[in-house]
Structures are given as C-alpha cells and as structure tokens.
Chains A and B, each alone.
Chain A
Amino acid sequence: DHHERKRKKESREVHERSHKARKMIGLKAKLYHKQRHAEKIQMKKTIKMHEQRKSKQKDDDKTPEGAVPAYLLDREGQSRAKVLSNMIKQKRKEKAGKWEVPLPKVRAQGETEVLKVIRTGKRQKKAWKRMVTKVCFVGDGFTRKPPKYERFIRPMGLRFKKAHVTHPELKATFCLPILGVKKNPSSSLYTTLGVITKGTVIEVNVSELGLVTQGGKVIWGKYAQVTNNPENDGCINAVLLV
C-alpha cells in the first residue's frame, strides 16, 4: 500500500505546511516566511507565464527605432545639439585627466580611520608609529625596515595578494594576482603605502584571461577598481576597467 500512503501523505502535507506557517514564532518563523514568500513569487510567475501564452500581447519589434508620435515631430534639431555638447564635455573631462571608472565618487577615509597610533617607549609616551588598519598590498620583494625605524606598520594578517576581478562584459569573475596599487582616491600617502580601500584602482595580472592586442602582443596587466570594503569582507572584489 505504498502508493496509497504516499498519495495521502502528499495531500496532508498542504495542511501541515499551513499549520506550521501559522504557528511558528521567532527567528525560525522569519526564515520560513522568507522562503515561502520566494516560493509564492515563483509560483505566481509560472502562473503568469502560462496565462501569457493564452493572451495576446503588443509586439514591440514591429515599431522601428526612432519612430516618434505625431506631436513630437517638430523637435528634431534638439538631438543634434545634444550630441555636440556631449562631445565637448567629454573632451573637457579628458583634458582634466578624469577617468571613467565604475565608482567615480567614494567616501574619503580620514587618517584616524586608516592609521592607528601605536604608543612606544618606556612610558608609552612616544606616538610616532602608525599601524594600517585597512587591507594593504606589499610587493613581492618587500622587506620591512628595522623595527626601530619603521613608521608605518602593515600587519601581515592584512596583506592580500589576490583579488576577485569581474569582467564587466563577460560577467565572469576570476581570482587574479595583484601587481600593485595605482591610485587610492583618499590620499597619495595611501597610494605609496599600498592601502586598498573602496574605490582604489589596482593593477592586476590578466595573463590568465589570454587577452591579445591588435598588434599581437599578449596583455598581462590591466587596471581594476575595488568595489567593496575589503576590511569588512575579508576579500578584495574589483571590476576590470576595459
């Protein structure tokens, strides 16, 4: 009687589910409701899809691009003017040396945020040393200065060598080694130190991707901009600048 029981169990399941949904409280209930909500959305979508099949829809492809309704026919001249002004703006930006990056504006990080004061000395009075509290990158051949003289301490636990770089067009993410920090938007000091915060432009080794220039040379380094807060997430996520 396995099939009988299975059938009955499945039909009972509906009642049990609704009973559970009504009676649960607390954190479990929140998670359960969220899950159920997602399920219901899916169900509604499939139902809608089934319904669409039966009804008739407006076909967007039939209207050609640039087709304008009758009352807008007079204003053609405007579009050309817009194009020209855009070109001028672009040229101005290029002269200023502003690049087009995915995150044009980021929050500036103050020194107290990035560098922590380390007290030294017999009576812990001297405060000339600083420790970096954000994720940083040091090169391959990096050796520390003698501890007595080093002013900026970059702890080993916060040194990262790899970044998860996303190609914006391919929508694929690769784990690529970092070559260096190009520019930190908050301060040039951070750039020299190699501090990586949100919005920093870093150079990554893209030989893995196998990109080739027009001339036939293999591209092995490209710029990428960091898109997350690495000190909060424990990893560096960046977007490749193509």
Chain B
Amino acid sequence: MALYNFKKIMVVPTAKDFIDITLSKTQRKTPTVIHKHYQIHRIRHFYMRKVKFTQQNYHDRLSQILTDFPKLDDVHPFYADLMNVLYDKDHFKLALGQINIAKNLIDNVAKDYVRLMKYGDSLYRCKQLKRAALGRMCTILKRQKQSLEYLEQVRQHLSRLPTIDPNTRTLLLCGYPNVGKSSFINKVTRADVEVQPYAFTTKSLFVGHMDYKYLRWQVVDTPGILDHPLEERNTIEMQAITALAHLRAAVLYVMDVSEQCGHALSQQLELFNNIRPLFANKPLIVMANKCDVRKISELSEENQKIFVDLIAEGITVIETSSLTDEGVMQVKAEACDRLLAHRVDTKMKTKKVHDVLNRLHLAVPTKRDQKERPPFIPEGALLRRKAMEMDAPKRKLERDLEVELGDDYTLDLQKYWDLMNPEEKQDKIPEVWEGHNIADYIDPEIMTRLEDLEQEEELREKAGEYVSEEESEDEEMQEIRQLASQIREKRKLKILTSKEKDTQGPRMPRTAKKVERATLEKEMADLGLDMTDKDDSHYALRSRSLVRKRKREVSAPPTSRTRSQSASRPPRDQSGVRDAKMLKKVKTMMKSSQKEMNRQGKKGESDRHVFDVKPKHLHAGKRKSGSTSRR
C-alpha cells in the first residue's frame, strides 16, 4: 500500500527539465550516425527508433508519477481526508488526470508519426518527420508545467508528514490553542514540539511515541481548535478535526483551568459540547490542565459546577499540570487502560474473535491433595513492588541535592568510594611514589591476582616443573656429538691453513688441477677408508693413460689406450645387453629401422631432401574421368 511510503515517491521534474532529460537521453542512447546513401528501410528504422524511444521514456516516467502518488480512494480514510484538507482533493485529482491525458496524447503522437514514416522515401523527409514528432511530444509536456509544479510541491510536503499509523493504539490531544497539549506530549514522549505563549504554535499534527505495559503507544498532538462551525474552519484546524474524526483513539480533551489561554471556561465547555459528536465510541478523558496555577477547588461556583456536571455524566476529569508533573502519569495510565479495554471489547464483538477463542483453553491443574500451594514470590521482588507502589524515592538523588544547593552545587563522586579508611575519601591522589608511577599499578583486583599467582606457583613447584633433568644420552648420540666436534675442529684447521697459503696467480677451481694418486689415497686413509689394494681401480688406470697421451705418439694409436679403453668401457652394441638372445634381437631391430631409409636412399634419419618436387606425370595432361575437384 502506498500508505507509509510517502517518502519513496520519485521526484517530479519541472517541465523544462523533463524535456531536457528525455531529449538528451534519446540523443545519447540511440545510434546517431546515418547517411543519405543507406538503404531506405535502414533510414526509416533509424528515425522510427528515435521517435519510439522518446515516446517510451515519456510514457515510463509519467506512468511512474501516476503510480507513485497515492490514490485517495485506496489509502486509509484518515490520510485521504488529511490530504484533502492540505492539498485539495479536486486539484490533486485534476493534476494527476492531466498527466494521464498527456501520457495518452504522447502515445498517440508517436503512433501517428511512426505510421507516416513508413512512407518516407528520403532521409530529409524522415528526419523532418522525426523532428515534428519529438517537437509535438515536447509541446504536450510544456503545457503540463503547472501540474508538474503542483505535484512536486505536494510530494515534498507529503514526504514530511509524520507517520501516523491509524490502526495502532493512539492517544489524541485536543482543545483550545495554548491550553498545554504540546507540553503534555513533550512530557510523556520523546517528542520535542515547540511550546510558545502565542496561539497556534502547533500548526500541524505531531506524533510522539511512548511505552506503557510493554506496548508502543502513539500520542498525537493537534493544533488548537477554535469554536466556530465546520465550514468556517481553516486548514490548520481542519487537520485536527480530521484526526479526531478518523483515528480510533482515546481522546484527551485538555481544558485550561487557569484561563491563561485567553478563553473562559464556559467557552471551552461550549467547544467541548460542539465537538462531542466526534467523541462517540472513543474513551474520553478531560484533563484540567495548569492546575498548579489554580485548582478546581479555587474556582468560582459556576465553573466548579461545570466539572461536577462532567463527572456526573460519567466522564473522568483529572487535574494535571505539565509543569509539576502532577497527574500526568495518572492520565496516561487511565487513558491507556481504557483504550485497551475498548479495543479488546471491539475485537470481541467481531466474528474473528471466536476463531481465536475456540482455540484457546486455559488448563488448570487439578488438586491432588488438600495442601495449599500459593505462588512463590521472592522477598526482594516483594520489597521492590512495595517501593514502586509507594512511589517515593528511596534515596536522595543528586538532582535533589543540586536543586537544594543551587549555585553552590559541585558534582562530588569521590564520596561514593569504598575505602578501608573512610576519612581518606577526599584526599588527593599522588601521581608518583618512591620513583614509581602510580598509574601503572592501578588495578582494582591486584591483591586477589597476586594471591592467585602465588598459589599457582606453589602448585607448580610441587609438581616439579622446574627441576631440570639430565638427559641420559645413548651411545649413538654421544658418537654423533664426538664426530660433530671433530668436524668442527678439522674445519677450523682447514680455514687456518688456507689463510696461510700463499696464492700466486688466479685461483683455479679444484677440478682444473689433477689429483695425484698418492694424495688421494692419503686423504682417504686419513678419513678411515681402506686404500691398500687399489691398483686396478679406475683412478689408477686413468692416471697411467693420461700420462701416455702427453707423449703424443700419433703414428700408432696407443694400443694400451684402446685396450685400456675397451677394457674399461664395453662397446656400444654390447653395453646393456645381457645375453646372446637379447643381442640378436637388438641387431634385428637396428637393421629393420634402417631398411626404410635405405630404400628411399636417405643418408640418415634427418635427411629430408626431395628429389622431385613436382613430378610431371601428376601435373600435366587433361582432366579426364575421375574426380576433377583436385589435382
């Protein structure tokens, strides 16, 4: 429902802005390039698109305006009436009607021009038609300038209306201007309505919320009503009347006993009688306000009689004062209770109640013996309840102290401190003591913490956490430790020796030098290897052959070398071959892989030479029978 979404109505642009926005949107969002030599259907489509796009935009925006604004028939009659009072229902409906007409007109214009454009046979003609169409649509909108301005103002005002829920519990304040309605609402709720000595300070409805019996209540403050017939009332008063008429609320009629508002009590009574019909079916309470200035008992006889009459009719009259808070709570409680009872009554009368009632069942446990089992209320709750009932303050509040002392009052929180020596309460706290900064040590629970820590420490010591055991190392660990220490020593020695070495020339890497057999064997022996019988090891033979190479006997290949080599390394076709069967298989594999290459006369596997790239017999001659799609 558009009820409480008055704030969500989209902004209504002025006519000029509206036209500018839509036209610039058309220019940006539709293609812009067209040439004379394009095909005519393309030109037509181009311009028709622009016309339709503009029409679509206008249509959408206007439809949105029409749907956003609340329809007076659809909203709650309270709001419908309020809007009638504030904005004049006829004007409102007319404005929306004009917008609707404009929307239809724009649609028709677009339809006509699109139909005409189908007969356009040149770019110029289509362009002129588009121009005429857009111009017409914009002129239609220019004529709506007034309606749009009015609707924008209505929207702004609507969004600032207070959200009054017509269906929840509401208290309604009414009465003459300046009787104290706004002060009452300021007292009871968190609302901050302006209170001034001149009449008609409150010019519109204000809402405040309060809590009672764990429920949310609305309190509605109205502008004052003067006593003249309905036709002569102005807009401000009509708002109050509307609220009275439509909201099902408890009515608090406020009367000014002291007559400070400028109207005699008899006048107030007159007004009361005049608007009596509006109070039908609503719980009514008369508040005799400003009783701190003058009480009812201080009034004259006839005025007192008024109140007596009212009470005799069965209307509750309560004396209140917004200044001294006298009777305010009483009024609140009374009004809320009566309204709740009234609401429950009305609900009971409807048919829906029976559905609920039929499903409710209060189960009471049956007595199994004669023993009395009353409900158990703890003592503290009882005491508190008594204190609440007595309604007296338990202790002297700071506020009261302040009021008493007036100017001499200073806020002294140190008197509430709980010290071992109460005379020290007013002493000044030093900042540094014995070289330590006191702020560092401030911890309210420091003593308890210290005790806890000490206890923990004791426990730990008992458990033996702090005894360091010597690890019993097994033999392996000891050996490893010994070896590690040896390595460390050797390393240090090496470093020292290398530092002492006299390096001449560039430092060659270790692999460039040849290693003497003797040094190798010695080093290995030092480390613990057995180097005794190593004559036929590979390094022994190697050294010998290298020496041979140096003598350069080219003529005859050093037989020893080949022999040595062949002795040291098996030939390729024997390496990896386990037995004769495998050797045979290997040989056949080799031969078969070479067969194809030999057939094609290739030198090896990387030979890709083609002897005849375009053989004549394939590329010459006529295409005869057979497939002719390729050669």
A residues apposed to B, CB below 8 Å: 27-28, 31, 116, 133, 155, 157-158, 229, 231-235
Name A234's contact: one of B20, B27, B121, B129 (CB within 8 Å). B129
28 contacting pairs across A/B (C-beta < 8 A): A27-B24, A28-B24, A31-B20, A116-B121, A133-B119, A133-B121, A155-B119, A157-B115, A157-B116, A157-B118, A157-B119, A158-B116, A231-B116, A231-B125, A232-B124, A232-B125, A232-B128, A232-B129, A232-B132, A233-B128, A233-B129, A233-B132, A234-B113, A234-B116, A234-B129, A234-B132, A234-B133, A235-B132
- Inter-chain contacts of A232 with B (CB < 8 A): 124-125, 128-129, 132
| Nearest CB in chain B: distance from A222 CB, A | 26
CA distance A77 to B132 in the complex (A): 53
CA distance A231 to B116 in the complex (A): 8
- Inter-chain contacts of B115 with A (CB < 8 A): 157
Chain B's closest residue to A132 (CB) is: B119
Residue B454 CB within 8 A of the other chain: no
Q: Using a Cβ cutoff of 8 Å, how many contacts connect chains A and B?
A: 33
Give B43-57 interface residues, CB cut-off 8 Å to A: none
| Nearest CB in chain B: distance from A33 CB, A | 14
- Inter-chain contacts of A28 with B (CB < 8 A): 24
- Inter-chain contacts of B124 with A (CB < 8 A): 232
CA distance A27 to B26 in the complex (A): 13
Size bin of chain B's contact surface: 10 to 19
CA distance A116 to B132 in the complex (A): 24
Give B261-282 interface residues, CB cut-off 8 Å to A: none
B residues apposed to A, CB below 8 Å: 20, 24, 27, 112-113, 115-116, 118-119, 121, 124-125, 128-129, 132-133
Chain B's closest residue to A113 (CB) is: B121
| Nearest CB in chain A: distance from B40 CB, A | 12
| Nearest CB in chain A: distance from B374 CB, A | 65
- Inter-chain contacts of A133 with B (CB < 8 A): 119, 121
13 more CB-based (< 8 A) A-B contacts, given A133-B119, A234-B116: A27-B27, A116-B121, A133-B121, A155-B119, A157-B118, A158-B119, A229-B128, A232-B125, A232-B128, A233-B128, A233-B132, A234-B129, A235-B132
- Inter-chain contacts of B133 with A (CB < 8 A): 234
- Inter-chain contacts of A31 with B (CB < 8 A): 20
- Inter-chain contacts of A229 with B (CB < 8 A): 128
The winner among A133, A231, A232, A235 for most chain B CB atoms within 10 A is A232
CA distance A233 to B112 in the complex (A): 11
Chain B's closest residue to A131 (CB) is: B119
| Nearest CB in chain B: distance from A160 CB, A | 10
CA distance A27 to B27 in the complex (A): 10
- Inter-chain contacts of B119 with A (CB < 8 A): 133, 155, 157-158, 231
CA distance A29 to B124 in the complex (A): 26
CA distance A234 to B136 in the complex (A): 10
- Inter-chain contacts of A158 with B (CB < 8 A): 116, 119
CA distance A51 to B128 in the complex (A): 43
CA distance A234 to B133 in the complex (A): 8
CA distance A231 to B124 in the complex (A): 11
- Inter-chain contacts of A157 with B (CB < 8 A): 115-116, 118-119
- Inter-chain contacts of A155 with B (CB < 8 A): 119
B112 touches A234 (CB 8 A): yes
CA distance A229 to B119 in the complex (A): 14
- Inter-chain contacts of B112 with A (CB < 8 A): 234
CA distance A155 to B120 in the complex (A): 12
CA distance A116 to B40 in the complex (A): 14
| Nearest CB in chain B: distance from A201 CB, A | 23
CA distance A28 to B27 in the complex (A): 11
- Inter-chain contacts of B20 with A (CB < 8 A): 31
The winner among B20, B116, B118, B121 for most chain A CB atoms within 10 A is B116
| Nearest CB in chain B: distance from A186 CB, A | 18
| Nearest CB in chain A: distance from B44 CB, A | 13
| Nearest CB in chain A: distance from B369 CB, A | 77
Chain A's closest residue to B112 (CB) is: A234
CA distance A116 to B269 in the complex (A): 90
Chain A's closest residue to B27 (CB) is: A27
CA distance A27 to B24 in the complex (A): 9
The 10 closest A-B pairs by CB, nearest first: A232-B128, A233-B132, A157-B115, A234-B132, A234-B116, A234-B113, A232-B125, A158-B119, A234-B129, A157-B119
| Nearest CB in chain B: distance from A174 CB, A | 17
CA distance A116 to B125 in the complex (A): 15
CA distance A229 to B116 in the complex (A): 13
